[in-house]
Amino acid sequence: MRTIIVENRDEINSIIRECKTCYLAMSVEDQPYVLPMNFALDGDYIILHSAMHGRMWETLQLNPKVCINWTLGEELAWQDIQVGCSYRVKSASVNVEGVAEMVDDYDEKYRCMEKTMAQYSDLEFRFNSPAIRNVGVIRVKIAKISARRLGVSAKPVYKAG
């Protein structure tokens, strides 16, 4: 089984959109920190939201450089049931590197929250003024993006189960 580099941006976007959670990695003073987050893909930006306080918010203000990961798939496969090194998890993953910026403009925060909800539902949502004022919206411009499909087989693969 092998790993295939994915370079087509439409395919990369498709992997991202199929995921329900991303993992935001950040660090300050050489201390890494990772959180699962809800997100939206908005062209060349990733939108995240949270409270405007806490460890993540403080970390991003000190060091806005981030890495975001999405991983899709957990199917176990192998080429030889007796050989441990032939086992793989068939999956696809995307990594983005960029710089986080806090969105302060009310109208832009509202738009970002609409985009975020569109990631999870086809319904149209309205947000009241306090909800928008009190939510922390973070936007990450994609500086570098890479993707891979893992566990791709050159010959038939047997599935668990």
Average pLDDT along the chain: 89
Structure tokens at 61: 């203000």
The model's pLDDT over 119-158, given as tens digits with 9 standing for 90+, comes to 999 999 899 999 999 999 999 999 999 999 987 654 444 4
CA distances from 32 to 17, 52, 66 (A): 26, 20, 10
- Please write down the HEC assignment for all residues of the chain: CEEEEECCHHHHHHHHHHCCCEEEEEEECCEEEEEEECEEEECCEEEEEECCCCHHHHHHHHCCEEEEEEEEEEEEEECCCCCHHHEEEEEEEEEEEEEEEEECCHHHHHHHHHHHHHHHCCCCCCCCHHHHHHCEEEEEEEEEEEEEEEEECCCCCEECC
The pLDDT score that the predictor gives to residue 74 is: 72
pLDDT of 111 strictly over 60: yes
pLDDT of residue 73: 82
Q: Which domains does the chain possess?
A: 2-159 (2.30.110.10)
Where is mean pLDDT largest: 48-52, 80-84, 157-161? 48-52
The encoded tokens of residue 115 equal 């985009």
The percentage of the chain sitting over the pLDDT mark of 90, rounded to a whole number, equals 75
Q: What pLDDT score was predicted for residue 83?
A: 61
What's the confidence (pLDDT) of residue 2?
72
The pTM for the full model equals: 0.86
